[in-house]
């Protein structure tokens, strides 16, 4: 019986089962940490416990530093989509709807989602690795020893900067996407700029713009909160920093998709 028990514990199935249990426990633990930190951050924001200097620094980091990669990704995505959609629409006699289709697609989905992915890759990973390094080098412990609220000091400016700056980033990215869609439609399908922009407003409403901005604010706050939380609870030295950064990026990607599905169900179904 002892030998059988030892054999079972060494089997791949048993190790896979243990790994599954660890993943589930880590998932629940992370959800709890995010909820706890999130409530603390909201309380600090509503009380006005915000460092303005640090907030401006984080806004510059979140908004300005991320613009090149964000505009590049959204712009290239628009070029790829327009090069295929415009040609087929013109061929089928739907040239009067190319601008409308591209604008709705970019404003509702591409601008916010691709910006979220780009900012997660650049800013989210940076936030996670920064706080994880502070944790494993005991800088967070030093902040707590000094009597400073580490959540208010580390989380509030970063989360608030994501909520504030993400809508501006999405607006710029969407404008660039629509403009590049017009250029691509002219190059690949021979669609004039006048025909493209005349159809832009056929299916675009203020509701689409407000929902896109609200979605962007939620995406920005979620990316910052998840990334900072994963870094804040890191452990295990350099390896822990890497694992925390990876977790932050993966969780942020998943959260963006889930939030996008929720917004689509609430506002467009």
Nearest to 226 by CA among 148, 127, 144, 133: 127
Instruction: Read off the pLDDT of each residue in 24-34 and give the average, rounded to a whole number.
Output: 82
Token pair in block for residue 245: 């950064």
Q: For the chain, what are the domain ranges?
A: 52-268
Q: Is 148 helix (H, G, I), strand (E, B) or coil?
A: coil
Q: What is the pLDDT of residues 61-75, one digit of tens each?
A: 888 888 889 999 999
What's the pTM? 0.89
Residue 60 confidence (pLDDT) above 70: yes
The CA distance from 213 to 168, in Å, is: 8
pLDDT, residue 4, reads: 52
**Continuous H helices in 122-236:** 125-136, 139-145, 150-154, 156-189, 193-198, 206-232
pLDDT, residue 188, reads: 84
Mean pLDDT, all residues of the chain: 87
Tracing tokens 């791949």 back to the chain, one arrives at 12
The CA distance from 245 to 221, in Å, is: 17
What are the CA-CA distances from residue 109 to residues 186, 198, 225 (Å)? Answer: 23, 21, 22
Give residue 263's pLDDT band: very low, low, confident or very high (50, 70, 90): very high
Residue 18 confidence (pLDDT) above 90: no
Contact 78, 177 (CB under 8 A): yes
pLDDT, residue 186, reads: 87
Q: What percent of the chain has pLDDT over 70?
A: 96
pLDDT, residue 160, reads: 93
Give residue 7's pLDDT band: very low, low, confident or very high (50, 70, 90): low
Q: What is the pLDDT of residues 94-127, one digit of tens each?
A: 778 888 889 999 998 999 999 999 999 989 999 9
Q: What is the pLDDT of residues 146-203, one digit of tens each?
A: 888 888 888 999 999 999 999 999 999 999 999 999 999 888 888 888 888 888 887 7
Q: Is 235 helix (H, G, I), strand (E, B) or coil?
A: coil
Residues near 162 by beta carbon (within 8 Å), at least 6 away in sequence: 62, 220, 221, 222, 223, 224, 225
pLDDT, residue 198, reads: 85
Give residue 9's pLDDT band: very low, low, confident or very high (50, 70, 90): low
């Amino acid at each position: 019986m002892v030998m059988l028990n030892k054999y079972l514990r060494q089997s791949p199935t048993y190790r896979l089962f243990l790994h599954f249990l660890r993943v589930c426990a880590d998932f629940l633990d992370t959800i709890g940490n995010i909820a706890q930190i999130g409530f603390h951050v909201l309380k600090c924001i509503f009380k006005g416990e915000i460092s303005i200097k640090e907030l401006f620094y984080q806004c510059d980091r979140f908004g300005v530093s991320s613009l090149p990669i964000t505009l590049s990704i959204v712009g290239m995505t628009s070029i790829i989509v327009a090069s295929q959609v415009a040609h087929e629409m013109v061929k089928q006699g739907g040239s009067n709807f190319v601008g409308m289709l591209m604008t709705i697609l970019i404003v509702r989905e591409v601008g916010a989602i691709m910006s979220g992915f780009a900012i997660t890759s650049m800013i989210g990973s940076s936030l996670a690795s920064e706080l994880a390094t502070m944790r494993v080098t005991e800088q967070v412990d030093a902040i707590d020893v000094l009597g400073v609220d580490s959540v208010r000091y580390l989380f509030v400016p970063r989360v608030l900067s994501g909520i504030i700056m993400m809508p501006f980033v999405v607006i710029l990215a969407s404008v660039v996407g629509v403009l590049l869609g017009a250029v691509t439609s002219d190059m690949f399908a021979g669609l004039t700029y006048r025909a493209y922009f005349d159809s832009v407003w056929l299916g675009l409403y203020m509701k689409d713009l407000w929902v896109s901005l609200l979605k962007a604010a939620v995406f920005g706050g979620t990316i910052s909160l998840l990334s900072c939380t994963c870094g804040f609870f890191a452990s295990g030295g350099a390896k822990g920093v890497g694992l925390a950064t990876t977790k932050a990026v993966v969780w942020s990607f998943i959260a963006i998709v889930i939030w996008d599905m929720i917004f689509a169900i609430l506002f467009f179904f």
